[in-house]
Every structure is written in C-alpha cells, then in structure tokens.
Structure 1
Amino acid sequence: MNHNELKLEIELIPESTMHLNLRNRLTSYQWRQFSQDIQKRDQYSCCICHRVKGDTIDKLHCHEIWTFDTDVQVQYLNGFQSLCFQCHMIKHIGFATMNDWVEKYQLIEHFCTVNEVSRKQYAQHFHDAVQLWIARNQITWHVDLGDYIS
C-alpha cells in the first residue's frame, strides 16, 4: 500500500514534542477564535472525509499539520486543517485510544471507509506509523512554530 494514496493517515507525534504546539501556546479563547477561522476557510467541512458541520457532524477540530526534517532534527508546523472527530482521532490514534476518547474499532472502520481499504491494509499502515514513531522518538526534536507565534 502506497501511503501517498491514502486520504487519511495516522500521524503519531513524538513523545518529547506531543504538547509543544500552537494550541498550548494560545489561551483557550485565542485557540477557539483561530480554530473558527480555519473552519470558515475550510467551508465548515472535514478536509479529509468532507462531512459538513451542522449537517452530518456536530463539530470540527483544528488539526496542526507537521513535517519532520531528520537531517536538522526540526519538527515544523506547516499549517492547519479542519477535521471531524473521527478523522482527527485517527491522526492521533495512540493518544485517542490511550485516553479512552473513542473505541479503536470505530476508528479502524472510519479509516477503512475513508481510504477504501481493508482491515489488513489498515493494520499494515498502523504498523508502519508505529515504526516511524519509534524512530522519531530516538531524535531530540526542536519545534518550529513558524510565523504562527511571535
């Protein structure tokens, strides 16, 4: 399975940087306002499964998009996207299931439906994501929030 073909992928953040993000640098009010601006930009729909807020889902989450440069050991904040609860929980499936926010089988079902793949293909993707997470946990990352923070 080519990961470039997946609409929805698991993105496990390294343990050392899990809480080093824009959301934790802003007040609750600032994050809510920022999140609402992102939702408006995304036309109040999930950027992955395209369900619409107020129609097929109750709310959207603001998801931070990260890239990792292992050569310089920097984790870059590259943008944001509106995601429904299920898509957002798949992105962070380890954290979501660890905190009992949702049943894992529901996330697997959503992943398979959105990506039009089998449970076996999900299992392979999950395995690959965990291996990447383990490798990234060996690195001392520097977090770059870019122009989003002054």
Structure 2
Amino acid sequence: MAVERVWLDVPFAEKDEAKKGGARWDPAARRWYAPRAGMAALHRWAAAPDVPDLLPGEDRGLGSGLFVDLVPRSCWFTNVRSCVAAKDWERLRRTITRRAGRRCETCGAAEDRDAKRWLEAHERWVFDDTARVQTLKRLICLCTDCHTVTHFGYALVRGLEARAFAHLVKVTGMTGDAARQHVRDAFDVWERRSRVTWELDLGILTKAGITLAPPPGAGARARTAEETLRRERERGRGR
C-alpha cells in the first residue's frame, strides 16, 4: 500500500524534533514528510507553497562564473538566510538547489558530506551608486568551496585564504598573478563601496511571499569581523 505523504518544511535545526514527532525523510526528494495527514505533532511544519523557480524580477544570467564578490561593510551579516524565517529559508534553499540540478552553478560539484562540501545559496547584487541602493537580483547555488572564494574577506577572517585562493585558480584557470590581481581589485571595489551605507532592496523575495526580518546583533558581529579582516590584510601585505 502506498504511503500517503504530506510534505513538510523542516529547518535543519529542527529536524530531530520533527523526527520525534513522526516525520520521515525522503532521500530522493531530500525533504521531510508526514506519513499520513492529520498528525498534530507536525502541524507547525506544514508546507507552504513552493517558491517559484524564477523569483519575480530575478536575473539568472547575472554574475555567472566564479569570482570574488564582496558585499559592502554596511551589509555584513545581513545575508538572505539571516533575514528570513527558518521555514521560508528551507523553501528558498529547496528551490535554489533543485533548479540547479543539485550541483554548484560555478564548478559543477555535487554535495559531498564526507568532504564536508555542501550546496549553499549566494546572493548576486546590482549596485546603484547614485541612489546607494543594493538590489538583490539573483540567488545562485554554490558549493562550500566556491562560496568561500566568493566571500574572500570572510575566508581571511576564518584563516581559509590559501584554500580559497587555490580553489579560485583551479576553477577559473587563472594564473597565480592574475588571481592575486583579481582579489586586489575586488577589495578595491569593496573599500570604495564600504565608504557609504547602502539600502537593501530585497523585492524579489517579498514579491515571492517571503517575510523578512533584520537579524539581531549583526552590527556587533560586523565590527568584530572588520577588525579581524583589517589585521589579516595588513599581515598579508607584510609577507
């Protein structure tokens, strides 16, 4: 007899609790479900409608390939994941990975738990220097290694500079000198953009029915990371 499945939106942090309530995992769909309707213990994870494959106003051709893509200081620790509810993030993550064929959109790698390589969402932005508006225009599926390259400043903070640099060279085919210049250019752009405060436009999310909320404590975390980044960059210049 076929099992009646009622799909659920279960954030990763709540998976054990959902499992205790009777939820089951479908490895093919990579999603939790209730084995029958009417299970009261699982009502809190009742699935909302799927996010459309193309978000309203999204440009999936924007920012293809692997490159260092640093967000201005005023937007540190306010990425999409930190600004949406956990259940909404699960809906977004599912759409982003599914439409990418569950592979990184820059290097083609699949998720590999043994290698601690995950598939993650990264934001591509368009900057209006006159209005000082930073508009989200694309969500792209990246593996952990490509995502680390993209956030090269955060890689410095975490001591992952060498690993990120090696992956950048491997995926792009750049020479070492070209890759170093690419990183320097990216930091030059970051420093220029970080002189002002940017207003975030996340309309492609709100128009898709995603509720937003600013993350708590983002400012303090950003100041700590900025100081660490400054020290690491000064240390790098002295080598």
Q: TM-score range by the shorter chain?
A: 0.7 to 0.9
Which stretch of structure 1 is more off in the superposition, 47-56 or 109-118?
Answer: 47-56
For 1:49-68, list aligned pairs within 5 A: 49-54=107-112, 58-68=117-127
Q: 4+ residue runs of structure 1 moved beyond 3 angstroms?
A: 54-58
Name the counterpart of 1:72.
131
User: Matched residues, percent identical?
Assistant: 28
User: Retained in 1: the 8 A contact 2:137–2:204?
Assistant: no
Secondary structure at the counterpart of residue 124 of structure 2:
strand
Structure 1 residue runs without a partner (length 5+): 1-5
User: Retained in 1: the 8 A contact 2:65–2:106?
Assistant: yes
Name the counterpart of 1:96.
155
Name the counterpart of 1:16.
74
Q: Aligned equivalents of 2:167 and 2:123: distance in 1?
A: 20
Secondary structure at the counterpart of residue 39 of structure 1:
helix
Shift in alpha-carbon separation, 1:122–1:83, aligned structure 2, 3 A:
same
Count of equivalent residues? 143
Name the counterpart of 1:3.
none
Q: Aligned equivalents of 1:47 and 1:55: distance in 2?
A: 18
Q: How far does the alpha carbon of each residue in 1:63-88 deviate from its partner, in whole angstroms, 9 at most, with x for none?
A: 11111110211100001011001110
Structure 2 residue runs without a partner (length 5+): 1-63, 212-239
Q: Which has the higher contact order (CA 8 A, sep 6+)?
A: 1
Q: Aligned equivalents of 2:79 and 2:173: distance in 1?
A: 31
User: Retained in 2: the 8 A contact 1:7–1:114?
Assistant: no
Q: Aligned equivalents of 1:55 and 1:116: distance in 2?
A: 26
Q: How far does the alpha carbon of each residue in 1:13-66 deviate from its partner, in whole angstroms, 9 at most, with x for none?
A: 111112333222212232123112110011001000011235996420011111
Q: Aligned equivalents of 1:93 and 1:11: distance in 2?
A: 8
For 1:1-150, list aligned pairs within 5 A: 7-54=65-112, 58-100=117-159, 103-149=160-206
Per the normalisation by structure 2, the TM-score is 0.56
Name the counterpart of 2:33.
none
